Structure 1
């Protein structure tokens, strides 16, 4: 083999080795590192939020369509001019909601842990995966409904003007439909008074 041919072959081999090395690094999964999680589908922040009864965006459909939530209503009590009765009712609603949301959140965490365990212990089958995922989905649906229904209950405690003011104070009034009047709620009877 000539000297030039040896150099060409060496450079080609080196180039292939470098391409393979850097190509492998470029294909690292975005999941890399997540295999260390106790529950692979949930990071620590999500687990903590579920256990604390936080929203995780479950109530966006309500919040961004003009249905106030109790936590932010209490934070905005002064500019919303909540009455003493409204504050007390909102505080009760928030306490009841948090208790239910924490309970459901813990159940979601446990259901995700059971699903993860099926795979970690190599016990996953189509039947038990279907059952486990249906359990997770059912609990997530219950938790989301809890958050959304709490917004409905909070809206019923407020006048339409307060609900509109809330959306303005939260920064999305320009994109929110008019505040709903709850049938039989505080908003509906105030709207029609003469």
Structure 2
């Protein structure tokens, strides 16, 4: 009898279900360890982002479709470049967005905490669960609107060249100055694309 066969036989003999400890370990949840989170549905990085009024990826439909957001416009103001008046206007948009996002983020954190607390207490029925989820989703929708709507506020302040430059700097569009298409006169191409 091989050592493996003996091990399996002993595992079956001492475990009526026929499942070894190794099998249990192979089926552990990908969520194992998350039960220690303060708010089960939010990671520490999620909490940090929400508390600082960060975007939390909620504005991706705008960002990835070429509609600039105020935070990244301010980060790239020198490279775009933005005028002092543009920076001041975008800063006002950003400050209002951040203030509103911090408040909505706090509501979302509180709502997610309430869901976890209700499950922990065991004092929960479907009606109460629906109300708690609706509160959390309303806060999330408000937060998403806050971030996405500010992407609508920035394009009127920018030229089409500045928007194109923003998208190129963010890595969404190739740099026309660095990529002269085959068959084009390089000097003429760079002149037509305002390359320095």
| Match in the other structure for 1:13 | 9
Q: CA deviation at 1:173?
A: 1.4
The residue correspondences of 1:35-184 to structure 2 (distance < 5 A) are 35-174=35-174
Shift of 1:13: 2.4
**Unmatched runs of 5 consecutive residues or more in structure 1:** 175-194
Cα root mean square deviation, aligned: 2.2
Distance in 2 separating the partners of 1:33 and 1:11: 30
Please state how far the C-alpha of 1:76 moved relative to its aligned partner. 1.2
Q: Deviations over 1:139-184 (max 9, x none)?
A: 101101110001111122111211111001110115xxxxxxxxxx
Q: Which portions of structure 1, spanning 4 or more consecutive aligned residues, are displaced by more than 4 angstroms? A: 9-12
Instruction: Return the TM-score normalized by structure 1.
Output: 0.81
Aligned residue in 2 for 1:29 = 29
Do the aligned partners of residues 137 and 11 (structure 1) sit closer, same or farther apart at CA in structure 2, a change above 3 Å counting? Answer: closer
Distance 1:103 1:75 in 2: 23
Distance 1:75 1:152 in 2: 18
Structure 2: any 5+ residue segments left out of the alignment?
175-196
Q: TM-score, normalized by length of structure 2? A: 0.80
More helix by share: 1
1:10 positional shift? 5.7
- CA deviation profile, 1:95-144 (whole Å, cap 9, x unmatched): 11110000100110001011111101101110000000011111101101
